[in-house]
Chains A and B, each alone.
Chain A
Amino acid sequence: MSYTPIQLLENWILRQASDAGQAWLDTQREAVASGDPKSLYLAFGFAPRKIGKADLELTERDLNDAAESRPGWQPQTWTIDQAARVLLLMSLPSEDDAAYLATIEKLFQTAEIREQICLYQALQLLPHQELFDDRLAEGIRTNIKTVFCAIAHCNPLPMELMSEPAWNQMVLKALFIGAALDPIEGLDQRVNPELARMLIDFAHERRAAKRPIPVELWRVAAPFADEIALEDMKALYTSGENLEKSAIALALVSTALDEADEILKTDPEVAKRAESGDITWRGIAEQAYASEN
């Protein structure tokens, strides 16, 4: 039995909402469906105080249903008000794509932080989502890390919609602001020489300034490693911390370069763990950002 995203959101809310909260949401969805933007603006704002802000209690099965209903959808960090807000957005009449876009855009322009997080995660489920590529590119210009992560992490839309320059900026900026790369959907599929060049320059710049280099960088840079990158990796593989060595080993193993083998030989122990699958990018990201979890 497969479900639509709307059915899933409805079920998840039904499980957790109070009767009053549920009744409020049903009423508001009807009002929004009548096409009045003002009722959407108010209901969108009031959702947390009417239905609460609890995390959705999702099972493994729920997450599988989600991925089946919308490939790439990962609602594990969603909250109940977020789910309610998305249902409100999906209740808005959408036959006229320009009008729909304008109303959603107005919400983006006037959103507070949690609303921005909700909106950027919501887009993947909305009608006319393909029209929001500029909005995504604008979104990653934010300085608010949690908003950035709502776009970059656990979200299939950047992979599907972003132009290569916007995608490259997103990955580079993630490293700049200390956001993990591993949760970016399509990270390995969308590697490209231009992105690798930017990352290699960045790593080199950081080494010159004696500042640490984010370890996940090598995952995206290694497929296009040039002389400079190999030299940096070699130096760090010799002198770096354990986590850095693990990341470089994993990056080198994934390339088929002869030079990579030469570097790996200098510490065969770590190389072996990288080859055997003992070290994974997910594990590295978890360790690198452990203090944030």
Chain B
Amino acid sequence: MKFIDPHIHVTSRTTDDYEAMAAAGVAAIIEPAFWLGQPRTNVGSFQDYFSSLVGFEKFRAAQFGIRHYCTIGLNSKEANNEALAEQVMELMPLFLAKENVVAVGEIGFDDMTAAEEKYLRIQLEMAKEVNLPILIHTPHRNKKQGTYRSMDIIEEHEIPPHMVVIDHNNEETCEEVLRRGYWTAFTIYPKTKMGNERMVEVVKKYGAERIIIDSSADWGVSDPLAVPKTGNLMLERGIPKEHVELTCYKNALAAYGQSGQFEESDWLSPEPIDQRSLFEGNSVLRGGQTPRVDKPEDDRIIQ
């Protein structure tokens, strides 16, 4: 089975992770722009980070046969540095039109301050202007209020729910998010967001329509194989295969495919021009195959 992880911060992950993801069937990933743990103090840091999302990281993923896409946006935490946030807004036009940018995100609330709301609104308008989907990060604290407030604001801006993915849901928030017609994403992240046994129960209860599963694996203790592990667990626990395909592949494809920048053919049968520019004529990676990673018999030997 092929998987899409539509939310993973691979900049923070190792090549071992990439190899394991490819081996587990992860064909495509989306890396949302986010907070790096260390607060940025200069707009140049944002510029270089965004550039690496559309440039080097996409190249690095391709070396493992994984197609890399990203979302561009100012995260909620750093929206509180208003002087910097203003400069980041000026950068956005340089990046929103890039190929492989599949959404504006991840944007939303962290502390639910006025500044966070201001930059959420500005970026919602930008997304409308370039007709891109939106990825909403919902806060860790005060999650329910933050989630509902985000949806209210989106509706004020007259953005249809099918253009929006609301992420990091849990059992408390998902019912309302589904009811209002949004793509409803769950992050399988150890000890903080969702465990995958709970996820199985959610799919049993609500079905698979508009539900998306991701890992949000980053610089914290997280699991870049969360999507394939959850998919396999769902199969083991009797969830129908179609539901597993929807939640671990097809729904993400449908949601972010609305950008016009995210198509299955990109990894199943890449255009020759894309192969030329991305895979460096590496014939092993042609036709969307995963790379063969030769493991030496004896792993103490480094050739």
Contact = CB atoms under 8 A, between A and B. Distances in A.
Interface of A: 38, 41-42, 44-46, 48-49, 53-55, 77, 79, 106, 109-117, 143-146, 291-293
- Tell which of B48, B99, B274 has the most Cβ of chain A within 10 Å: B99
A293 B48 CA distance: 33
17 contacts: A42-B97, A45-B94, A45-B99, A48-B99, A53-B273, A55-B272, A110-B95, A111-B54, A112-B55, A113-B59, A113-B278, A116-B55, A117-B277, A146-B277, A146-B278, A291-B283, A292-B282
A38 B55 contact: no
Nearest to B70: A112
A112 B100 contact: yes
B41 to A, nearest CB: 19
B267 to A, nearest CB: 16
A165 B99 CA distance: 35
B99 A114 contact: yes
State the majority secondary structure of interface residues on A. helix
Nearest to A107: B94
B281 interface: yes
B99 to A, nearest CB: 6
A109 B52 CA distance: 10
Nearest to B282: A292
Interface in B45-60: 47-48, 50-51, 54-56, 58-59
Nearest to B100: A112
A110 B282 CA distance: 26
Interface in B94-126: 94-100
Interface of B: 47-48, 50-51, 54-56, 58-59, 93-100, 260-261, 271-274, 276-278, 280-283
A63 B55 CA distance: 30
A116 B55 CA distance: 9
B97 A45 contact: yes
Contacts of A38: 93
B55 A111 contact: yes
Contacts of A115: 98
B160 to A, nearest CB: 21
B129 to A, nearest CB: 10
A146 B94 contact: no
Nearest 6 Cβ contacts at the A-B interface:
A45-B97, A292-B281, A112-B54, A145-B280, A144-B59, A110-B94
Contacts of B278: 113, 146
Contact of A144 (B47, B51, B56, B260): B56
Given A41-B93, A55-B273, A111 B51 contact: yes
B58 A113 contact: yes
- Tell which of A45, A46, A111, A292 has the most Cβ of chain B within 10 Å: A45
A115 B280 CA distance: 15
Contacts of A44: 97
Given A49-B99, A49-B260, A293-B281, 7 more contacts: A41-B93, A41-B97, A45-B97, A111-B55, A115-B98, A145-B280, A146-B277
Contacts of A49: 99, 260-261
A39 B215 CA distance: 36
Nearest to B95: A110
A284 to B, nearest CB: 18
Contact of B55 (A48, A113, A291): A113
Given A114-B99, A293-B281, A146 B276 contact: yes
Nearest to B129: A42
A109 B47 contact: yes
Nearest to A42: B97
B92 to A, nearest CB: 10
